[in-house]
């Protein structure tokens, strides 16, 4: 996991634990061995620590947190050893020196980095803090202000910025065109030169733990705490990390370290840390699908997008940003021009905000080819239709594409609810048809539900999953059912919210509970933002708006929602919906007209309104959601519980510190949820959402946890 060599009397310890050189036990032992060898060898005058391959360590090995290995030869001890070594140690950084990686660098006496590298302490994103002295050394090196900002936000910074802040001693200029190997060679060369230059220098002032911290006023901590409470609402780690940083200014290093370790110990076992670490791995697991070999994907080098509306132009942006040419098609010149303008405006905005340069923006725009002619799609590798959400319209578009595109072209339909098999049946290549459900705004939202139809081939799935990754999305493969995973689960959740209105709650009551749970906004606020007409459109497509078409055995909860649309209360865009809005504002106020309508409808539908507790609101909304998640798993529509968690965190604002609905279910206890569902079902037999999932029933009665059960099941499947 590490290698040792000497170059010009400088010992070079190379960390070799691909892909990210995580600081596993074997790596930690390797560093110790290297230090000991270099210290004992009189011919060695200095030491360089560098990461092999593409990066300096990106942190501690997160997989060692759960199995306890992290506590054997723990990282703080290794770093203490590095810092106290008598020969100068130069740390050479390329790639991403994150977390424990940066902490190792802070323990070294000199730090040199490639201009392409990034450094950061992202531990708060995992529900912990930099626990190998990061909260004590960084403030000593760059001051409390800058250190606290980096540690509490968890955001990495570019090497050039790190140099300006005083984290680095020197930079090695590497252009974006140079290979990783050239970067490594140049960096190592520069590190050895630096090591030889400082070989006889005193290490006085070079051991960061011995530096003094300039204290800052309490006002600074109060302001930062306020900012954290707003930006990272509900997250414990950033506020706790701030306490540890404060300790660096209050206590000598040794005592500060004790504080850091105490706080780390508490965070380490917290439910938030477990949830956030679950999300870290779940996000990386979405590409691992039983039975799908991702290597079978074909490269996608040329793309078509049909429809230059908000969705189509957003989709196109994702590809041209990555240098993949896009033919953007619309039927009318006016619509096409509008779409192109939206794309140009997007890039202009990025240049203005300093997020890209004019040169790069123009280069991206150069990949856009607007057209009125489907024939221009004859040669694309993949085409995504983003036309109106209507089965017949989408079928006719795909039929046309099937006739025009080359036989290998993959045809993608961007839909949030429609049946992929029916759409695919309009073509002669159902194996090359797949659903790609982008979330709006498509150039911002990272989630993508890729929907496999019954005939979609492994090659098509692998190709689309790979290209989704290339355009920086988080792709999740889901099965073909109404609403797929995200929207399918949204329906019972939303239905409960509306049922609660019938029984006695108001929109602001429900929204407050969901906000307090950790969602960025409640369901009614979300509906106002998206447009209440969207829900009406879906209910109409389901044929449930007309009372004569409804199933008399199923409770209908959307009378008020339907009436709001009749009253043209579409939401923010019409300045009134579930709430009323001042012009240009997105902050809704409860509206008497809506509250009166809710009360009137309750009466008309035979409900005697009652006070409903926050607990009941939370349980009914969330347990209905979770129950549907279990049904998605038992039907094979979702491949892993973690996939559902990712969809709900990235697509619907489920609070990440709760780990997503399925992780949350395990944390609450499946038996408790199952029993509550039975109870709510007894009180409301006409709501089919309260019919418990068989999988939930089975796990609740056997006392098993979903995560463990599913991991075992997948292992058994892969051994077959």
63 binds ligand 3HC (CB under 6 A): yes
Q: Is the peptide bond before 266 cis (omega within 30 degrees of 0)?
A: no
At 705, is the secondary structure helix, strand, or coil? coil
- Determine which residue in the list 1, 12, 75, 377 makes contact with ligand 3HC, applying CB under 6 A: 75
62 binds ligand 3HC (CB under 6 A): yes
Residues 6+ apart with CB under 8 A from 603: none
Region class of 189: left (phi > 0), else alpha (psi between -120 and 50), else beta: alpha
Does residue 57 contact residue 20 with C-beta atoms inside 8 Å? yes
Q: Pairing relation of β-strands 157-158 and 118-120?
A: antiparallel
20 binds ligand 3HC (CB under 6 A): yes
Among 83, 123, 385, 503, the one annotated catalytic: 123
159 binds ligand 3HC (CB under 6 A): no
CB of 58 or CB of 557, closer to ligand 3HC:
58
Task: Please state the closest distance from residue 439 (CB atom) to ligand 3HC, in A.
Answer: 20
What is the pattern of x (binds ligand 3HC, CB under 6 A) and - over residues 99-138?
xx--x------------------xx--x---xxx-x----
503 binds ligand 3HC (CB under 6 A): no
- Determine which residue in the list 56, 98, 491, 650 makes contact with ligand 3HC, applying CB under 6 A: 98
Candidates 58-66, 231-239, 374-382, 689-697: pick the segment binding ligand 3HC (CB under 6 A): 58-66
Question: Distance between CA atoms of 37 and 663, rounded to whole angstroms?
Answer: 46
CB of 283 or CB of 385, closer to ligand 3HC:
283
Question: Distance between CA atoms of 269 and 276, rounded to whole angstroms?
Answer: 12
Task: Please state the closest distance from residue 486 (CB atom) to ligand 3HC, in A.
Answer: 23
282 binds ligand 3HC (CB under 6 A): no
How many residues does the structure list for the chain? 720
380 binds ligand 3HC (CB under 6 A): no
Question: Rounded to the nearest 10 degrees, what angle do helices 358-365 and 310-321 cross at?
Answer: 110
Look up 635 and say whether it is catalytic.
no
CB of 311 or CB of 462, closer to ligand 3HC:
462
Look up 103 and say whether it is catalytic.
yes
58 binds ligand 3HC (CB under 6 A): yes
472 binds ligand 3HC (CB under 6 A): no
Question: Distance between CA atoms of 339 and 486, rounded to whole angstroms?
Answer: 27
Size of residue set near ligand 3HC by CB under 6 A: 23
Picking from 85, 94, 67, 91, the residue whose alpha carbon sits closest to that of residue 13 is 91
Task: Please state the closest distance from residue 494 (CB atom) to ligand 3HC, in A.
Answer: 33
Q: Is the peptide bond before 19 cis (omega within 30 degrees of 0)?
A: yes
Centre a 10 Å sphere on the Cβ of residue 667 and count the other Cβ atoms it contains.
Answer: 15
Among 103, 183, 283, 616, the one annotated catalytic: 103
241 binds ligand 3HC (CB under 6 A): no
Question: Distance between CA atoms of 434 and 424, rounded to whole angstroms?
Answer: 8
691 binds ligand 3HC (CB under 6 A): no
Q: In 85-158, which residue ranges form alpha helices assigned H by DSSP?
A: 100-107, 134-142, 144-153
Question: Distance between CA atoms of 277 and 63, rounded to whole angstroms?
Answer: 9
Task: Please state the closest distance from residue 435 (CB atom) to ligand 3HC, in A.
Answer: 25
Question: Distance between CA atoms of 497 and 558, rounded to whole angstroms?
Answer: 10
CB of 267 or CB of 490, closer to ligand 3HC:
267
377 binds ligand 3HC (CB under 6 A): no
Question: Distance between CA atoms of 190 and 112, rounded to whole angstroms?
Answer: 8
Residues annotated as catalytic (active site), given as ranges? 103, 123
Interface with ligand 3HC by CB under 6 A: which residues?
A: 19-20, 22, 58-63, 75, 96, 98-100, 103, 122-123, 126, 130-132, 134, 284
């Amino acid at each position: 996991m590490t290698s040792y060599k000497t170059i010009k009397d400088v010992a070079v310890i190379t960390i070799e634990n691909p892909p990210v050189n995580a600081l596993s036990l074997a790596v930690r032992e390797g560093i110790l061995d290297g230090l000991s060898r270099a210290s004992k060898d009189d011919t060695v005058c200095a030491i360089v620590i560098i990461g092999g391959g593409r990066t300096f360590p990106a942190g501690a090995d997160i997989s060692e947190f759960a199995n306890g290995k992290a506590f054997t030869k723990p990282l703080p001890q290794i770093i203490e050893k590095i810092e106290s070594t008598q020969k100068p140690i130069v740390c050479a950084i390329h790639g991403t020196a994150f977390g424990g990686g940066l902490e190792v660098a802070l323990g070294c006496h000199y730090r040199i980095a490639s201009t392409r590298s990034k450094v950061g302490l992202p531990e708060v994103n995992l529900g912990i803090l930099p626990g190998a002295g990061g909260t004590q050394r960084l403030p000593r090196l760059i001051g409390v202000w800058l250190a606290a900002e980096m540690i509490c936000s968890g955001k990495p910074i570019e090497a050039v910025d790190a140099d300006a802040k005083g984290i680095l001693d020197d930079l090695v200029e590497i252009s974006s065109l140079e290979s990783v190997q050239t970067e490594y060679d140049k960096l190592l060369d520069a590190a050895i030169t630096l090591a030889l230059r400082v070989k006889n220098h005193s290490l006085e002032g070079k051991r960061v733990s011995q530096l003094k911290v300039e204290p800052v006023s309490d006002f600074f901590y109060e302001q930062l705490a306020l900012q954290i409470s707003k930006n990272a609402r509900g997250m414990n780690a950033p506020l706790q990390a701030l306490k540890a940083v404060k300790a660096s200014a209050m206590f000598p290093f040794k005592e500060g370290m004790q504080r850091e370790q105490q706080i780390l110990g508490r965070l380490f076992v917290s439910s938030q840390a477990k949830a956030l670490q679950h999300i870290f791995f779940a996000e990386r697991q979405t590409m691992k699908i039983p039975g799908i070999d991702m290597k079978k994907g074909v490269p996608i080098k040329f793309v078509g997008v049909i429809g230059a509306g908000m969705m189509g132009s957003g989709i196109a942006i994702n590809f041209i940003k990555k240098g993949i040419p896009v033919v953007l098609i619309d039927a009318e010149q006016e619509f096409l021009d509008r779409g192109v303008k939206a794309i140009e405006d997007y890039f202009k905005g990025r240049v203005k905000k300093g997020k890209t340069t004019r040169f790069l923006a123009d280069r991206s725009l150069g990949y856009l080819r607007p057209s009125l002619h489907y024939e221009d799609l004859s040669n694309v590798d993949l085409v995504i239709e983003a036309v109106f959400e209507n089965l017949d319209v989408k079928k006719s578009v795909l039929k046309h594409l099937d006739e025009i595109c080359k036989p290998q072209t993959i045809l993608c339909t961007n839909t949030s609810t429609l049946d992929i098999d029916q759409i695919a049946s309009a073509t002669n290549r159902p194996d090359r048809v797949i659903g790609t459900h982008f979330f709006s705004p498509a150039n911002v939202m990272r989630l993508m539900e890729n929907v496999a139809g019954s005939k979609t081939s492994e090659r098509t799935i692998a190709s689309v999953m790979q290209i989704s990754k290339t355009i920086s999305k988080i792709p999740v493969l889901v099965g073909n059912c109404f609403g797929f995973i995200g929207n399918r689960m949204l329906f019972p959740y939303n239905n409960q919210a509306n049922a609660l209105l019938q029984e006695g709650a108001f929109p602001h009551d429900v929204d407050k509970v969901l906000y307090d749970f950790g969602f960025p906004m409640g369901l009614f606020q979300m509906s106002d933002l998206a447009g209440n007409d969207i829900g009406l459109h879906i209910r109409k497509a389901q044929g449930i708006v007309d009372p004569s078409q409804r199933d008399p055995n199923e409770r209908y909860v959307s009378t008020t929602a339907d009436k709001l649309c009749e009253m043209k209360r579409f939401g923010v865009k019409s300045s009134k919906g579930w709430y009323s809005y001042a012009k240009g504002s997105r902050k809704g106020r409860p509206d008497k007209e809506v509250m009166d309508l809710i009360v009137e409808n309750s009466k008309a539908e035979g409900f005697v309104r009652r006070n409903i507790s926050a607990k009941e609101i939370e349980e009914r909304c969330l347990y209905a959601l979770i129950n549907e998640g279990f049904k998605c798993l038992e039907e094979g529509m979702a491949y892993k519980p973690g996939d559902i968690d990712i969809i709900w965190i990235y697509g619907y604002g489920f609070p990440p510190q709760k780990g997503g609905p399925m992780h949350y279910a395990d944390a609450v206890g499946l038996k408790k949820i199952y029993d509550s569902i039975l109870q709510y079902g007894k009180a409301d037999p006409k709501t089919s959402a309260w019919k418990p999932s068989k999988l939930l029933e089975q796990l609740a009665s056997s006392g098993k946890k979903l995560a463990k059960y599913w991991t075992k099941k997948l292992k058994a499947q892969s051994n077959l």
